[in-house]
């Protein structure tokens, strides 16, 4: 699984440190160096997390998730509006 996905030694020290984090790093390492189908598993995990957080906390969880997308959309608008 994701713990067994090797980290290439040519990675900088901060990338190797990030990939060694318990849950987030394992998922990121699997996406970067693992099987090509792992992106679909990752999306199912994220969607399940969103559904469970909305089920537990309701609308405030949905609003907090939407607020995290604001910088992403602003950056995309700036990139797309560039002449």
Domain ranges of the chain: 2-34, 40-80
Q: What is the model's pLDDT at position 3?
A: 61
Dist CA 64 CA 75 (whole Å): 18
* pLDDT tens digit at each of 83 positions of the chain: 456 667 777 888 888 888 888 888 888 888 888 788 888 988 998 899 999 999 999 999 999 999 999 999 999 999 999 88
Question: The whole model's pTM is what?
Answer: 0.62
Kind and range of the H or E run holding 15: helix 13-19
For residue 3, give the DSSP letter: G
DSSP code per residue over 48-79: HHHHHHHHHH-HHHHHHHHHHTHHHHHHHHHH
């Amino acid at each position: 699984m994701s713990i067994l996905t090797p980290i290439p030694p040519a990675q900088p020290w901060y990338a190797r440190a990030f990939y060694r984090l318990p849950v987030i790093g394992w998922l990121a390492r699997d996406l970067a160096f693992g099987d090509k189908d792992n992106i679909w598993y990752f999306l199912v995990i994220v969607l399940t997390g969103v559904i469970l957080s909305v089920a537990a906390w309701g609308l405030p969880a949905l609003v907090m998730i939407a607020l995290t997308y604001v910088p992403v959309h602003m950056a995309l608008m700036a990139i797309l509006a560039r002449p």
